[in-house]
Amino acid sequence: MIHHLVLTLEQRPEVLERVLRVTRHRGFRVCDMRLSEQEDKRLLLDMAVDSDKAIELLSRQLDKLMDVSTCVVQGQQSMACTING
C-alpha cells in the first residue's frame, strides 16, 4: 500500500540519512521522494512509501527523530485493521 508523508526537516548534513535509515529499517520502500529547501532554510520532504504495514509504525518513528520538525501522513486512515500485519 502506498502512503504519502510530508516532513519538515532541520537543515543538517545527515538528516536524509536519518529519515531513510528509519524508513528502511521499519520495512518501508521509498517509491517517490522530493526534497526542497524552504525560505527558513528548513527542508521539505515529500515522500511516498510502500508497505503492507500500518503507516503509523513509520510516521511515529520518524516524528521521534530530533531533526524532524513535523511529520504528516496525508490521507491518513485508522491503523487498527493493519497494525498486526
Partner 1 sequence: MEQGQTISGSQAVIKVLAAHGVTTVFGYPGGAIMPIYDALYGSSVEHLLCRHEQGAGFAAVGYARSSGKTGVCFATSGPGATNLITALADAMMDSIPLVAITGQVATPVIGTDAFQEMDVLGMSLSCTKHSFMVATADELVPTLYHAFEIAASGRPGPVLVDIPKDIQLAQLEYKTPLQAVPDEPALDIAAISAANALLAQAKQPVLYVGGGVGMAGAVEPLRELSQRTGIPSVATLKGLGAVAYAAPGYLGMLGMHGNQAANHAVQQADLLLVVGARFDDRVTGKLDTFAPHAKVIHLDIDAAEQGKLRQPDVAISDDLCDVLPALTLTQDISSWQQQVAALKLQYAWRYDRPGAQIYAPALLKQLADSLPEDSVVSCDVGQHQMWVAQHMWFRRPEDHLSSAGFGTMGFGLPAAVGAQVARPGATVVAVSGDGSFMMNVQELTTIKRRRLPLKILLLDNQKLGMVKQWQQLFFEERYSETDLSDNPDFITLASAFDIPGRSISKAAEVSAALEEMLTSKGPFLLHVQIDDKFNVWPLVPPGASNSDMIEEVEIQQ
User: Can you give the binding site for partner 1, defined by CB under 8 A?
Assistant: 14, 17-18, 21, 25, 54, 56-57, 60-61, 63-66, 79-80, 83-84
| Mode of pairing for the β-strands spanning 43-50 and 2-9 | antiparallel
What is the nearest approach in angstroms of partner 1 to the Cβ of residue 2?
A: 20
Q: Which is nearer to partner 1, 4 or 18 (CB)?
A: 18
CA separation, residue 32 to residues 20, 29, 40, 46 (Å): 12, 9, 24, 8
Residue with smaller CB distance to partner 1, 1 or 83: 83
Cβ-based neighbour number of residue 36 at 10 Å: 8
Residue closer to partner 1, measured from CB, 43 or 58: 58
